[in-house]
A and B are shown apart, each in its own frame.
Chain A
Amino acid sequence: MWLYIVRRIAQSILVIIGVTLVLFALFYILPGDPVRVLTGNRHLSATALANARHNFHLDQPLYLQYFYYLKDLAQGNLGESFRYHRPVVDILREYYPNSMRLGLVAVVLEAVIGIFAGILAAVKKSSFADNLFIVATSLMISIPVFWLGMLLQIFFGVKLHWLPVSGLGDGGWRYYVLPALTLAAVYAAFIAQTTRAGLVKVLNENYIRTARAAGLSEFKVVGKYALKNAMAPVVTLLGLDLGALMGGAVAVEVIFNWPGIGNQLFLAIQARDRPLVMGAVLTLVLIFIIVNLLVDISYLFFDPRLRSSGYEL
Chain B
Amino acid sequence: MKLRRLFVVAVLMILMTIAVSSCANSKNNKSNKVSKNGGHFSYFLQEPLAIDPINVQESAGFEVARELFDGLVDYNPRNMALVAAVAKSWSSNPEATVFTFHLKHGTKFHNGREVTAGDFKYAWERVAAKDSGSDVAYHLAPIKGFEEMQTGKAKHLSGLKVKGKYTLIVTLNYPFADFPYILGHPVFSPVPKEDVEKNPKAFAKFPIGNGPFMMAAPWKHRRYIKVKRFNKYYGTKPLLDSVEFRIFADKDIGFMEFKSGSLDYAPIPLGQVKATDEEYGNNAVIGQPLLSLDFLGYNSRSRPLNNKNLRRAISYGIDRKAISDAIFEDVRLPASGIIPPPIGGAIPPAKSFETRFTKAKELLKKAGYPGGKGLKKLKLTYISGSDYGPLAEAIQGNLSKLNIQVDIQPMEAGAFFKALHTGDTSLFIVNWAADYPTMDSFIYPLFYSKSEDNVVGYRNKAVDRLIIKARKTLDAKTRHKLYKQAESDILADTPIAPLFYDGTAALHGRDVRGFIRTSLDYTPLEQVWLKKK
Residues of A in contact with B (beta carbons under 8 Å apart): 30-34, 36-45, 47-48, 51-52, 55, 83-86, 90-91, 94-95, 153-154, 157-158, 161, 164-169, 254-257, 259, 263-264, 267, 270, 272
Given A44-B452, A161-B261, A259-B223, A38-B135 contact (CB < 8 Å)? yes
**A41 CB contact (under 8 Å) in B50, B151, B250, B417:** B417
Given A32-B416, A157-B260, A158-B260, A255-B253 contact (CB < 8 Å)? yes
**A44 CB contact (under 8 Å) in B138, B430, B431, B455:** B138
Instruction: Report the separation of the CA atoms of residues A127 and B520 in the bound assembly, to the nearest whole angstrom.
Output: 66
> How many chain B residues have a CB neighbour from A under 8 Å?
49
Kindly provide the distance from the CB of B37 to the nearest chain A CB, expressed in whole angstroms.
Answer: 26
Instruction: Report the separation of the CA atoms of residues A138 and B410 in the bound assembly, to the nearest whole angstrom.
Output: 38
Instruction: Report the separation of the CA atoms of residues A161 and B248 in the bound assembly, to the nearest whole angstrom.
Output: 19
Question: Closest A-chain residue to B453, C-beta based?
Answer: A43
Residues of A within 8 A of B421 (CB): 36, 43
CB-CB nearest 3 A-B residue pairs: A32-B414, A259-B222, A43-B452
Residues of B within 8 A of A168 (CB): 223
Q: Can you offer 14 A-B residue contacts whose CB atoms are under 8 A?
A: A30-B412, A34-B414, A37-B417, A41-B453, A42-B138, A45-B141, A45-B150, A45-B452, A55-B131, A94-B222, A167-B246, A254-B249, A259-B221, A267-B249
Query: Is A154 within 8 A of B416, CB to CB?
Result: no
B418 at the A interface (CB under 8 A): yes
Query: Is A41 within 8 A of B455, CB to CB?
Result: yes
Q: Chain B's interface: helix, strand, loop or mixed, by majority?
A: mixed
B322 at the A interface (CB under 8 A): no
Query: Is B150 within 8 A of A33, CB to CB?
Result: no
Kindly provide the distance from the CB of B367 to the nearest chain A CB, expressed in whole angstroms.
Answer: 28
Residues of B in contact with A (beta carbons under 8 Å apart): 49-50, 55, 130-131, 133, 135, 137-138, 141, 147, 150-151, 201, 204, 220-224, 246-250, 253, 256-257, 259-262, 385, 412-418, 420-421, 430-432, 451-453, 455
Given A41-B455, A85-B133, A95-B222, A165-B248 contact (CB < 8 Å)? no
Instruction: Report the separation of the CA atoms of residues A37 and B386 in the bound assembly, to the nearest whole angstrom.
Output: 14
Instruction: Report the separation of the CA atoms of residues A43 and B420 in the bound assembly, to the nearest whole angstrom.
Output: 10
Instruction: Report the separation of the CA atoms of residues A86 and B51 in the bound assembly, to the nearest whole angstrom.
Output: 13
Residues of A within 8 A of B135 (CB): 38-39, 52
Residues of B within 8 A of A39 (CB): 135, 417
Query: Is B453 within 8 A of A47, CB to CB?
Result: no
Residues of A within 8 A of B55 (CB): 85
Kindly provide the distance from the CB of B419 to the nearest chain A CB, expressed in whole angstroms.
Answer: 9
Given A30-B414, A32-B417, A255-B253, A42-B131 contact (CB < 8 Å)? no
Instruction: Report the separation of the CA atoms of residues A218 and B247 in the bound assembly, to the nearest whole angstrom.
Output: 53
Residues of B within 8 A of A85 (CB): 50, 55, 133
Query: Is B432 within 8 A of A41, CB to CB?
Result: yes
Instruction: Report the separation of the CA atoms of residues A47 and B141 in the bound assembly, to the nearest whole angstrom.
Output: 11
